[in-house]
Chains A and B, each alone.
Chain A
Amino acid sequence: MKFMDWLDERLAVRQLIKVMLTEYYVPKNINFLWSFGVLIMVVFAILVVSGIFLLMYYKPDSHLAFDSVNKTIMMDVEYGWLFRHTHAVAASIMFLVLYVHMARGIYYGSFKAPREIVWITGYILFVLMAATAFTGYLLPWGQMSYWAAQTITTLFEKIPFIGPDLVVWIRGNYIVEDATLTRFFALHVVFLPLLLIVFTAIHLYAVRIVGSNNEDGIELTKEEKKHGKGIPFWPVFMAKEFFVISVFLIFFFYLVFYQYKFAMDPINFTPADYLQTPTHIYPEWYFLAFYEVLRGFFFSQNLGLIAFVLSMFIAAFLPWLDTSPIKSGNHRPLYKILFFIFVADFVFLTILGKLPPTGLYAWLGFAGSLVYFAFFFALPIISRIEKKKLEGGR
């Protein structure tokens, strides 16, 4: 206790604990989906720690990278395989957790005022995470690594005027080569993780300022939360959080030890060969839906490309597309239906993204892409309907 007093005089720790933990209230009517933010941080911590240990043996050189991963780390280093499996599975599961986190935000209208900044910083985090995963995927220098980087960087060729030069600049070579590997490495292990940490801090700060949304989407004042409608962050909210994290970790480590193939594609156990493309190439599962939008407009490459970029970023504009004053999907029957159609469509696109883009699949991909955009363009319309109803009802 003496020590606490000493610290308190210097750092005001008691005050800090009160403000941050024991007297910070979250609404009582939130479910376990609100635990996913912390889950993301857990997965991020796992990525950083396992990444640091991979870094101790990984060699960012096109002649050495494959063997440093597949021989040194996977075979020679004690528990090296564990760190690699953990890192690869965590990178993959990160996106599952992110998508659930985002879907929660969409369903309960958490992107609406006053949480626009939370939503936008979150979206930036998603894009940064995608970039981190994409640059990291090149590092083992297998066939999938190589051809994913080769094809995605080729997309930049379509940018008017500067495209072709830009591609060469990004690669530092005419094809993906050693220079590309080394710069992706730098981005992956230093630059992008740093940005992720900075934006996570802003995101969390913004959440603290405006408070958590809840299942009913009805804002609660601090007083209301203090007296009955809320629970203190510590210990009450965290008590549940710990339970959720433990359950999640069982699922996670089950994948790490017994079901890791979805995150470590067999094709990537063949070293990169810039003279031969594997017969089947596809992105990691978390990019498949967007990839399918790219292929969905199979009759026009340019249209596909525009749709692809739009599909990646359109959700960032949700706060301005959906202007209905009602937040939660629980109280918006029409929106609820649209939401579940959207989720189903996203899964549908993800699956199609891995199938060959021929015959029926091509048309299904086109239809799926249209449904994807239809969701966003329907939002202003149903917002207006809901607004009218609300005014009429009053």
Chain B
Amino acid sequence: MADEKVSRRDFLLYAMGAWAAVGVGSVLYAMYKTWEPLPEVKAQATVTFDLSSVEPGQIKVVSWRGKPVFVLRRTPDMAKCDGRSVKGDYTVVLGICTHLGCIPNWEPDKKIWHCPCHGGEYDACGKNIFGPPPRPLDVPPFKLEGNTIVLGEEGPEYKQMKEKGLTV
């Protein structure tokens, strides 16, 4: 008799607790959602850029999701890259050193990127050729539409590069 009473009370108490937990969970979900990037931020997720605006030998920096993307139009005296070119002689790489995240500088006379932080170096294809960086500069997701490149979307060219492991 006494035991049964206790268990009934406990059952209701547990049910109440469980139901309260559902409520708390929903509130936490709403809180979680408030931290998502705002619509304006999400709108910056893709950036379009006209490749033909870059002169041979010139380098332009495009801001994509707040990060610098280097667009280099190579000249014949620079490193040859085959697979790492997004198109023709264009190198498009994320300008963030793969060592610890500094932004490398282009050295026009040597035709390499040199990282100010720990002296890492990359050639005109973004390949690491000296110093601590463990791998080449990343190629951001891109899609080609003629001479225009859309950063932030994965086009067929990007997917191919990714399969070959050339994007990282």
Contacts and interface: CB of A to CB of B under 8 A. Distances in A.
Contacts of B110: none
B107 interface: no
Interface string A279-297: 0000000000000000000
A22 interface: no
A77 B16 contact: no
Interface in B44-64: none
B45 to A, nearest CB: 15
B34 A79 contact: yes
Contacts of B16: 242
The majority secondary structure among interface residues of chain B is helix
Interface stretch (B35-43, B81-89, B126-134, B142-150): B35-43
Contacts of A76: 38-40
Interface string A154-193: 0000000000000000000000000000000000000000
Contact of A79 (B33, B38, B39, B40): B33
B30 interface: yes
The majority secondary structure among interface residues of chain A is helix
B41 to A, nearest CB: 10
A53 B31 CA distance: 8
Interface in B66-92: none
Contacts of A79: 30-31, 33-34
Nearest to B36: A78
A337 interface: no
Contact of B33 (A57, A72, A78, A235): A78
Range class of the A interface residue count: 10 to 19
Interface residues of B, number: 11
B38 A72 contact: yes
Nearest to B20: A242
Interface string A231-247: 00001000000100000
Contacts of A80: 34
B34 A77 contact: yes
A56 interface: yes
Interface string A40-58: 0000000000000100110
B146 to A, nearest CB: 34
Nearest to B39: A76
B21 to A, nearest CB: 14
Contacts of A242: 16
Contacts of B39: 76
A80 B33 CA distance: 9
A82 interface: yes
A145 B14 CA distance: 45
Contacts of B34: 53, 56-57, 77-80, 83
Nearest to B27: A49
11 contacts: A56-B35, A57-B34, A76-B38, A78-B33, A78-B34, A78-B36, A79-B30, A79-B31, A80-B34, A83-B30, A242-B16
